[in-house]
Chain A
Amino acid sequence: MRAGDTRALEELYDRNNGLLYSVVLRIVRSGADAEEVLQESWLQIWRGAGTYNEARGTVGAWLVTVARSRAIDRIRSEGSRARAEESAGADPPPPTEDASANAAHRQMSERVSRALEKLGPQHRQVLELAYFGGLTQSEISERLNAPLGTVKSWTRQALIRLSDLVPQEEWT
């Protein structure tokens, strides 16, 4: 893709966009916004293929990071919903679950739930607020009425616990 091969991009899209769409929709909560965010994200991915750093993780993780950052920028910016409405005309029909993908992801979801259960509900909550809500650590601290240092510890503990679910060899 770094060489400008659009077929490589198509392959990446087919392999990853299902997850990207689900994550982005979970953040922006509007079908029209999710589609706009994904169009911008894939353009950014296409233009910035050279910025991908293998040492920091897989291509899939990089794609999710790009799309998630765009989605969070979207919910933080004002008036985005209005623009989406103007350009799309009307919202698409409500999304339905992807039955083919759900068996595999359900298994992962259960493993994530089990891993977080061993810690505590607050660990899941800080991840939810940070990952899907786009809240800063200070905002989470205020929201949960917990000291900032505690929020940081919960976040780190939760991510470390979950990191065991993705073996190192699958990652690099």
Chain B
Amino acid sequence: MTPHKDEYLELCAGYVLGNLTEEEARTVEAHLAEGCSACETEINRLGRGAMAFASATPRLLEPSSLRARVLDTVRNDGGQRDGQRERGRERRRPIPLPPRRIAPVLGWMGAVAAVLIAAFALYEWRAASRLERDLAAARQEVSRLNQQIQSEREWAAVATAPQTRTIELKPTPAGQPQLHARVTYDPATRRALVAVSDFVTPPGKDYQLWAITKTGPMSLGLLRTDPQGRALIRLDDAGDPFTLAAFAVSLENAGGAPTPTAPAGPVVMVGKIGT
């Protein structure tokens, strides 16, 4: 057995989360297969941590039809497996077929027909290959467009989902009163749409958006506006609904605050998330 090394323990967290490189994962697997109890215990402990993290995920109601579909799929799978076993047991010898007979006078006609059929098949095959290539290209394009539609549909759902919250940010005394910002936040997917207007950025400065959580601020990025001071920003992850308390905007030196966990400039807008 390979002697246990602390480096293996370092790999255990990535192994539990499934985010090691392939080589690292193989190393851990091989080491575990040798029966290292220290690493087995560590994986058990870290697995408990991962389960606690998963258990904190907001629970969503699954579609009522899902249960029946899943169970039907499994039952059909079981039936197929049983069926295969049954067929395996009852396998029989193939029944021999009598040899075909061809009349001698028709032999030469058959040969000519075979050549004609072969030529026709070649022509058809070439045409089919061309069509297949065209079809593959069309399918690829349809797939790309479907992905685009799906993505747009998901973003539209952020605005229409029943659990979505709209947060209007208000200017603070340090902010210009004409600033307008609204965050539409879906706690289920944690996505957010941010719409701002009248954000005229002073030279050498940048507006920065923040999620204010129970553990402190987290940067959500800079607000890049058009020349009219407008922007519509999509955020893939605006924060955990159970720790998120507010959104805020600060005015920073160009490039943003030096650290992503604390604004360096004045906070110019704030909007609390209602319960």
Contact = CB atoms under 8 A, between A and B. Distances in A.
A95 B143 CA distance: 25
Interface string A16-55: 0111011101100111000100110011001100000001
Interface residues of B, number: 71
A10 B71 contact: yes
Contact of B58 (A31, A97, A162): A97
Interface in A94-116: 94-98, 101-102, 105-106, 108-113, 115-116
Nearest to A93: B63
A133 to B, nearest CB: 8
Q: Choose among A35, A61, A83, A109 the residue with the greatest number of B CB atoms under 10 Å from its CB.
A: A109
Contacts of B66: 17, 21, 35, 38
A163 B45 contact: yes
B150 interface: yes
Main secondary structure, interface of B, reads helix
A95 B61 contact: yes
A46 B22 CA distance: 26
B206 to A, nearest CB: 18
Given A57-B51, A165-B52, A25 B60 contact: yes
22 contacts: A26-B190, A29-B189, A35-B66, A42-B74, A46-B74, A46-B77, A57-B48, A64-B54, A82-B144, A91-B157, A94-B157, A95-B60, A95-B61, A95-B188, A102-B59, A105-B58, A125-B218, A127-B53, A136-B20, A137-B19, A159-B49, A162-B49
Interface of A: 4, 6, 9-10, 13-14, 17-19, 21-23, 25-26, 29-31, 35, 38-39, 42-43, 46-47, 55-58, 60-61, 64-65, 68-69, 72, 79, 81-86, 91-92, 94-98, 101-102, 105-106, 108-113, 115-117, 120-121, 124-125, 127-128, 130-131, 134-138, 140, 152, 155-156, 158-163, 165-166, 168, 171-172
Given A19-B57, A82-B143, 5 more contacts: A108-B56, A113-B242, A121-B261, A137-B20, A138-B21
Interface of B: 10, 12-14, 16-21, 40, 43-63, 66-67, 69-71, 73-75, 77-78, 142-144, 146-147, 149-151, 153-154, 157, 160-163, 188-191, 213-216, 218, 237, 240, 242-243, 261
